[in-house]
């Protein structure tokens, strides 16, 4: 039986067929029809109205990263569409599955600079995994099915659909078929058995092996496989910023984080190991520093699902394309149980060094002023077992990455590749919806908070239990740190006169409190954590705090600065 | 730096999707590789388009460019070749004043030597066509220059591999096999 429905209705049904339960969006003329169609399904599909399209995309990112599902965004054409660019670029670099649907002007007006027409396909080409302009209603089911398949499968990423209003209005005979195959796209490259055997052989004969693991382990749901791999092989492990949550911070073989503000031991040991096993990571420049001096002495095995990442930044002696969910256990099966006690022990003096020169100063400062690091560590200790902790960008991010004790059930979420200030608050909104049973923390700096603070309105409207920790240093701290260290303290445009954040938050009906003395911190934080619903805790931290260790950009990873 | 660069021929097979040309060229631009020539047309396989692109680069860079092109969802396959791995050709058209052509005594010799053809002759101008490698096309250009060339145009390169294995057909067959596996 033929049933003709509008394209907008087809869009709504297609989203339901993809089991979408939450859509983040902002309406406008050329997408109203789809909002209208979704309105009829509001029991099944919740539409969250953010306060800015950038907020909608970051919220969808937070939702996707907390739930493992595809985040969905619905915006209008023109400025609505161009406002999604930052979020798409962020999701592209951090491999976050998104389907972003934007309205577009009528087909006969395309290319004529008509009202609220932007060339979204042209604009988003470099920052999407796939994009497509829908001009007829008949294409809608096909395009939606394909969009979800591409966003989700293989290395995830953002997809943009640019949907003409004509396609939304036209009638179509709706049939939905999920996409399971695209001839030109191999999401899961087949794993080369010979290389697996070779990898196992190298690992079995290595004396000083080190594994560096990234978000790929999380995206591939391979946390268990990672655990088996390291426990059988006894190999010490470090994580990237994006991979913080794949292994409990407390695991005895977890040596911490690598990279620019990573831990001393794994950074130094990268340049001492005889075998480096990189799992689901992409050798970003923030991890490698100067590539020419990176792990020169070591053989490198690189496991990743995206073949274009292999031999891209760092040459791998053995590059194994494929899903780490399968390549890792295939290697584990061929390993001889081992422990590298002496090698693991050799990390201790470096840990001790960092403890003395960095960690103890961060956590037990001499002065009255609080450090971001001690505040974050307290949050880490007081928070529960099931947590999503989102940070913003800057010093607050590095303090959180280093001192929030993450694990697979205590997710740490950050904007890694793009480093987008303002990510945190909307991403926490999405995380609250994607992981409704978890405690949700949003750790922001005073600068980044003000980039998307209007999303307090979203939190208010949907009463989302987002706990905001505002680490206020009255500076764009991370840039100020660079000015202090490299530009003789010329603080060009980094000092900020801030509003009264407590009043600002209260204006949205969200409870807020400011703490500027250490004696009050613990009690205030306990109260803030225990509160139902949203709440903001502003902590006045040391204005000129510094984040160490630090590898100056482009320097070898051995060039770590530990203190001023 | 420049001395280490080789002229590579990149061939890309893609689905016939709007905007693909942009997706492919963006990868070159981002990696700061200038495109020397570009030819896009339908391939022998229905629905599949073929790009032939030449560019000077070192091998490491061109390999990364090709990997990043192939990563695009609608791209079927991409490869790069050096000149000795392919048979390639360009076409050029030369428009010269008929008068001055009649004044030279070498026109017949030139047409024969370069294996050129005359496509059009009228009282004002003559259009000569030749296909060959870039240096051959250039040589005829220089030979014709004294006659005063009115217009000159050359195409991008087209190329065919010398290999006896048809890599695209093999790839498509492999993907068809996977499709059948998935639908089972
Ligand atoms: C959108 C955006 N603009 C600029 C930057 C550059 N930037 C990186 S960190 C930083 C300072 C952040 O200040 P704040 O949010 O107060 O955090 P803090 O470092 O003080 O913790 C800036 C400006 C950025 N990452 N993102
Ligand atoms: Mg700040």
For A430-444, the pLDDT digits (tens) are 999 999 999 999 999
**Whether A311 and B75 lie within 8 Å, measured CB to CB:** no
Nearest CB to A184 within list B63, B64, B73: B73
B183 touches chain A (CB under 8 A): yes
Measured in degrees and rounded to the nearest 5, phi and psi for residue A39 equal -55, -35
**Whether A125 and B172 lie within 8 Å, measured CB to CB:** no
pTM of the full predicted structure?
0.97
A476 lines ligand 1 (CB under 6 A): yes
Instruction: Give me the residue spans of the domains in chain B.
Output: 6-81, 88-157
Measured between alpha carbons, how far is residue A188 from residues A31, A324, B15 in Å?
34, 10, 20
Beta strands in A481-534 (DSSP E): 512-515
The whole-number pLDDT of residue B179 equals 87
Band the pLDDT of B141: cuts 50, 70, 90.
very high
C-alpha to C-alpha distance for B2 and A543, rounded to whole angstroms: 49
Q: Which residues of A touch B179 (CB under 8 A)?
A: 181, 183
A111 touches chain B (CB under 8 A): no
The whole-number pLDDT of residue B81 equals 98
Cβ–Cβ < 8 Å for A459, A534: yes
B1 touches chain A (CB under 8 A): no
Nearest CB to B19 within list A121, A129, A150: A121
What is the arithmetic mean of pLDDT over A278-284?
98
A420 lines ligand 1 (CB under 6 A): yes
Indicate if A53 belongs to the active site.
yes
A373 lines ligand 1 (CB under 6 A): no
Asked whether the predicted pLDDT for residue A156 surpasses 60, the reply is yes
Q: Tell me whether strands A299-304 and B86-97 are parallel, antiparallel or unpaired.
A: unpaired
C-alpha to C-alpha distance for A535 and A378, rounded to whole angstroms: 17
Cβ–Cβ < 8 Å for B33, B57: yes
Indicate if A165 belongs to the active site.
yes
DSSP category for residue B51: E
Q: Which domains does chain A have, with CATH numbers?
A: 4-173 (3.40.50.970), 193-348 (3.40.50.1220), 366-540 (3.40.50.970)
A129 touches chain B (CB under 8 A): yes
CA-nearest residue, atom 20 of ligand 1: A477
Ligand nearest to C-alpha A473: 2
Asked whether the predicted pLDDT for residue B2 surpasses 60, the reply is no
Q: Which residues of A touch B73 (CB under 8 A)?
A: 129-130, 150, 182, 184-185
Could you say which residues from 114 to 143 on chain B have a Cβ atom under 8 Å away from some Cβ of chain A?
none
Count, residues in chain B = 184
Of the candidates A53, A139, A153, A455, the residue annotated as catalytic is A53
Q: What is the pLDDT of residues A515-536, one digit of tens each?
A: 999 999 999 999 999 999 999 9
Asked whether the predicted pLDDT for residue B1 surpasses 70, the reply is no
A475 lines ligand 1 (CB under 6 A): yes
**Whether B22 and A184 lie within 8 Å, measured CB to CB:** no
Measured in degrees and rounded to the nearest 5, phi and psi for residue B110 equal -65, -50
Bridge partners (DSSP) of residue A159 are A99, A130
The whole-number pLDDT of residue B166 equals 84
Beta strands in A64-121 (DSSP E): 71-75, 98-104
Cβ–Cβ < 8 Å for A189, A251: no
Tokens of A152: 């989700």
The whole-number pLDDT of residue A542 equals 98
Tokens of A401: 């990455």
Q: Which residues are within 8 A (CB) of A123 and not within 5 positions of it... i.e. 6 or more apart?
A: A81, A82, A85
Asked whether the predicted pLDDT for residue B106 surpasses 90, the reply is no
Of the candidates A39, A44, A115, A503, the residue annotated as catalytic is A115
Q: How many Cα neighbours within 13 Å face the side chain of A225?
A: 21
Q: How far is the CA of A496 from the centre of ligand 1 (A)?
A: 12
B45 touches chain A (CB under 8 A): no
A204 touches chain B (CB under 8 A): no
Measured between alpha carbons, how far is residue A182 from residues A178, B74, B160, B179, B182 in Å?
11, 9, 26, 8, 11
Measured in degrees and rounded to the nearest 5, phi and psi for residue A119 equal -80, 80
The whole-number pLDDT of residue A4 equals 95
B18 touches chain A (CB under 8 A): yes
The whole-number pLDDT of residue A555 equals 97
Question: CATH for B88-157, among 2.40.128.110, 3.90.245.10, 3.30.360.10, 3.30.70.1150?
Answer: 3.30.70.1150
**Whether A126 and B175 lie within 8 Å, measured CB to CB:** no
C-alpha to C-alpha distance for A423 and A372, rounded to whole angstroms: 19
Q: Which residues of A touch B183 (CB under 8 A)?
A: 180-181
Q: How many CB atoms lie within 10 A of CB B142?
A: 8
From A478, A498, A499, A540, the mutation candidate for ligand 1 (largest count of ligand atoms within 8 A of CB) is A478
Order of strands across the sheet with A237-239? A254-257, A237-239, A209-213, A275-279, A299-304, A318-321
- Mapping DSSP to helix (H, G, I), strand (E, B) and coil, where does residue A276 land? strand
The whole-number pLDDT of residue B8 equals 98
Give kind and range of the element (H or E) at residue A442. strand A439-445
Q: What is the pLDDT of residues A72-104, one digit of tens each?
A: 999 999 999 999 999 999 999 999 999 999 999
The whole-number pLDDT of residue A261 equals 98
Q: What is the CATH number of domain B6-81?
A: 3.30.70.260
> Which atom of ligand 1 is nearest to A392's Cα?
15
Is it true that B6-81 and B88-157 share their CATH fold?
yes
CA geometry: angle at A132 spanning A128 and A135, to 5°? 155
C-alpha to C-alpha distance for A7 and A9, rounded to whole angstroms: 5
What is the arithmetic mean of pLDDT over B71-92?
97
Measured between alpha carbons, how far is residue A545 from residues A395, A540, A563, B120 in Å?
9, 11, 11, 79
The whole-number pLDDT of residue A446 equals 98
What is the arithmetic mean of pLDDT over A367-376?
97
Tokens of A117: 């027409």
């Amino acid at each position: 039986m033929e049933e003709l429905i509008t394209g907008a209705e087809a869009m709504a049904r297609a989203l339901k067929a993809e089991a979408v339960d939450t859509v983040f969006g902002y309406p406008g003329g050329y997408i109203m029809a789809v909002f209208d169609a979704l309105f009829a399904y509001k029991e099944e599909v919740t539409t969250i109205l953010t306060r800015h399209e950038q907020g909608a995309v970051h919220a969808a990112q937070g939702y996707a990263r907390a739930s493992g599902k595809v985040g969905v965004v619905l915006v209008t054409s023109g400025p609505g569409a161009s406002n999604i660019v930052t979020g798409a670029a962020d999701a592209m670099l951090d491999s976050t599955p998104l389907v972003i649907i934007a309205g577009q002007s009528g087909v006969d007006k395309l290319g004529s600079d008509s009202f609220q027409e932007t060339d979204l396909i042209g604009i988003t080409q470099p920052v999407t995994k796939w994009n497509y302009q829908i001009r007829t209603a008949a294409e809608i089911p096909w395009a939606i099915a394909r969009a979800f398949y591409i966003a989700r499968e293989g290395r995830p990423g953002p997809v943009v659909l640019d949907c003409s209003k004509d396609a939304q209005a036209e009638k179509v005979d709706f049939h939905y078929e999920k996409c399971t195959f695209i001839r030109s796209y191999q999401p899961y490259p087949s794993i080369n058995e010979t290389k697996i055997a070779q990898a196992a052989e190298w690992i079995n004969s290595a004396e000083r092996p080190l594994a560096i693991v990234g978000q790929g382990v999380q995206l591939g749901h391979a946390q268990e496989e990672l655990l088996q791999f390291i426990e059988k092989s006894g190999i010490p492990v470090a994580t990237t910023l994006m991979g913080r949550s794949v292994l409990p911070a407390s695991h005895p073989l977890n040596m911490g984080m690598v990279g620019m503000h990573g831990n001393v031991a794994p950074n130094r040991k990268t340049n001492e190991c005889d075998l480096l096993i990189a799992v689901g990571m992409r050798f970003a420049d923030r991890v490698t520093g100067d590539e020419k001096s990176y792990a020169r002495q070591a053989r490198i095995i690189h496991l990743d699902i995206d073949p274009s990442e292999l031999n891209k930044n760092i040459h791998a002696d053995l590059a194994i394309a494929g899903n780490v969910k399968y390549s890792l256990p295939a290697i584990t099966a061929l390993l001889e149980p081992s422990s590298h006690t002496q090698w693991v022990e050799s990390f201790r003096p470096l840990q001790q060094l960092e403890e003395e020169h960095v960690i103890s100063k961060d956590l037990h400062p001499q002065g009255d002023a609080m450090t971001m690091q001690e505040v974050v560590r307290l949050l880490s200790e007081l928070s529960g077992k099931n947590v999503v902790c989102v940070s913003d960008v800057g010093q607050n991010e590095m303090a959180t990455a280093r001192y929030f004790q993450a694990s697979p059930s205590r997710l740490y979420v950050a904007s890694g590749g793009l480093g987008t200030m303002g990510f945190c608050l909307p991403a926490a909104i999405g995380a609250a919806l994607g992981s409704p049973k978890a405690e949700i923390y949003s750790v922001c700096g005073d600068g980044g908070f003000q980039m998307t603070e209007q999303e307090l309105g979203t939190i208010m409207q949907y009463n989302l239990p987002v706990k905001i920790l505002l680490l206020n240093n009255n500076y764009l701290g991370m840039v100020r740190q660079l000015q202090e260290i490299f530009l003789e303290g010329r603080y060009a445009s980094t000092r900020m006169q801030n509003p009264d954040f407590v009043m600002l938050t209260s204006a949205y009906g969200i409870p807020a409190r400011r703490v500027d003395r250490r004696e009050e911190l613990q009690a205030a934080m306990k109260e803030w954590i225990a509160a139902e619903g949203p709440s903001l805790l502003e902590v006045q931290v040391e204005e000129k705090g510094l984040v160490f260790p630090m590898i100056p950009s482009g320097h070898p990873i051995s060039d770590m600065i530990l203190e001023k | 730096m420049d001395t280490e660069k080789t002229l590579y021929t990149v061939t890309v097979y893609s689905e016939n999707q709007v905007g693909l040309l942009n997706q492919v060229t963006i990868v070159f631009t981002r990696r700061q590789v200038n495109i020397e020539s570009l030819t896009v047309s339908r391939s022998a396989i229905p629905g599949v388009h073929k790009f032939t692109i030449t560019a000077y680069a070192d091998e490491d860079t061109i390999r990364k460019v090709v990997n990043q092109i192939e990563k695009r969802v609608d791209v079927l396959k991409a490869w790069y070749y050096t000149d000795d791995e392919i048979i390639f050709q360009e076409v050029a058209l030369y428009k010269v004043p008929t008068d001055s052509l009649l004044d030279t005594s070498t026109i017949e010799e030139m047409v024969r030597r370069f294996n050129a053809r005359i496509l059009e002759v009228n009282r004002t101008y003559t259009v000569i066509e030749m296909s060959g490698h870039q240096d051959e096309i250039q040589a005829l250009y220089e030979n014709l220059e004294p006659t005063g060339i009115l217009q000159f145009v050359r195409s991008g390169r087209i190329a065919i591999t010398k290999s006896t294995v048809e890599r695209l057909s093999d790839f498509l067959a492999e993907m068809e096999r996977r499709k059948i596996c998935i639908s089972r």
